Structure 1
Amino acid sequence: MQQLSHGNQEAFNQLYDRYKDRLYYYFYRMLGNSESLANDFLQDVFLKIIEKPERFNPNYSFKTWLFSIACNLCKNEYRRREVRKTTPNLNAQIDPILPQAVSKEELLNRIFDSLEELSAEHRSVFLLHYREGFAIKEIANMLDVAPGTVKSRLYTTRNYLAKKFQYLKDEIEL
Structure 2
Amino acid sequence: MDTDKVLVLNNSFEPLHVCTARRAIILLYTGKAERIEDGPRVIHSPSIAIIIPAVIRLHRYVKRPVIPAVSFNKKNILKRDGYTCQYCGRNGGERMTIDHVIPRSLGGRTIWENVVSACRACNVKKGSKPLHEASMSLLRKPAKPVSVVYLGIMFYSPHGIGSWSKYLPRGAGGELSGSLS
TM-score normalised per structure 1: 0.24
Q: Which has the larger radius of gyration?
A: 2
Q: Which is richer in helix?
A: 1
TM-score normalised per structure 2: 0.23
